[in-house]
Amino acid sequence: MGSRIRHICQIGAQIVYQLVEILGISLAEVARQVGVFTFAISEALDRKMKD
């Protein structure tokens, strides 16, 4: 089960990366649309950048 959750997190990080880095959407806007705190989006982006 853990590997599935990790895979989903990696997919989410990829989506966040594309929205923020490629499309130029702000962290706050992505967070607002997804329904999470800006910090969560920032953490997902940090995880993607470390990969």
Print pLDDT tens along the chain (51 aa). 456 656 667 788 888 889 988 999 999 998 898 888 888 888 888 877 776
The pTM for the full model equals 0.72
Domains held by the chain: number: 1
**Residue 32: which CATH number?**
1.10.10
Q: Long-range CB contacts (< 8 A, 24+ apart) of 10-18? A: 10/47, 10/51, 12/44, 13/44, 13/45, 13/47, 13/48, 13/51, 14/48, 16/41, 16/44, 16/45, 16/48, 17/45, 17/48, 17/49
- Give the range of the structural domain holding residue 18, as residue numbers without chain letter: 2-50
